[in-house]
Amino acid sequence: MRLFQRSKSPVARFLEGRVGYAVGDIHGRSDLLADMLALLEKRSVEDTRLAGPPIAIFLGDYIDRGHDSAGVIGLLASGRPRHCECRYLRGNHEQSLMAFLENPTAQRGWMLQGGAETLMSYGVRPPPFDGSKESWQQAADELRRRMPAPHLEFLNALERYVELGDYAFVHAGVDDTRALADQTDEALYWSRGNFTDSKRPFTHRVVHGHTPVDQPFADARRVAVDTGAYASGTLTAARFEGETVTFLTARRPNVTVSTPSRTVLAADVNW
């Protein structure tokens, strides 16, 4: 069934009386995540409203590529940022990890997408790509043994999407011919050009990561916040209140993990 835009104001509004943050793809950059968490926790006092504390939505792809996927999961599994209502979405990389644990030989490609770095962050040696079925199963079994129980619980509890006010928060995108409740995993976790290039109106303004952008992007249809943290050294969050969207960034030079951070508030952009 083809959907049409709802008959309402064209300006999307966040959940009435609340402030929200949406954090883009982290990809193993625990250093940038720590900076962002500190920034959000600092802002949480001034962003708490009578209706409740800020809502922090993480858009998925916490793991792979970066040096410390285990550290990222550890920080988020602890319930941070503090003083916020926290919601955590599943990304395609978390989906690949969980599929690897169930059927490692069918998920060899994950190693080429950053999965090797995730294994090493948990102290597991990646199997040779052309290794035996037994070597791949051993790696999956060792990863499961080495992952703390709270990490597995966190990964198993990840949400597919979050709906708040006129906004839909997803990892990658949506199929704009389907209702939000009817979205497939393929659309939510893997969409790229078929979603980002479309001009078709949707029932919600969609906030997403997955497709890296040089600068955070917002128009009436979507808000993109994946600024390629792993490669760029910039992790971005969007802040929502009423009809307003602004952006926050945590930045570090891509030199060493011990390099002091520079956390800054980007210029406000209203939509």
Alpha carbon separation from 159 to 57, 95, 156, 175 (Å, rounded): 10, 11, 9, 18
* Residuewise pLDDT in 10s, the chain (271 residues): 333 344 344 689 999 999 999 999 999 999 999 999 999 999 999 999 999 999 999 999 999 999 999 999 999 999 999 999 999 999 999 999 999 999 999 999 999 999 999 999 999 999 999 999 999 999 999 999 999 999 999 999 999 999 999 999 999 999 999 999 999 999 999 999 999 999 999 999 999 999 999 999 999 999 999 999 999 999 999 999 999 999 999 999 875 443 333 333 333 333 3
pLDDT of residue 11: 85
pLDDT of 10: 64
Q: Where are the domains of the chain?
A: 19-265
Which pLDDT score is estimated for 267?
33
- Residue pair 203/3 in contact (Cβ under 8 Å)? The answer is yes
Question: Which pLDDT score is estimated for 176?
Answer: 95
Instruction: Give the pLDDT of residue 254.
Output: 73
**CATH number of the 19-265 domain:** 3.60.21.10
The model carries a pTM of: 0.90
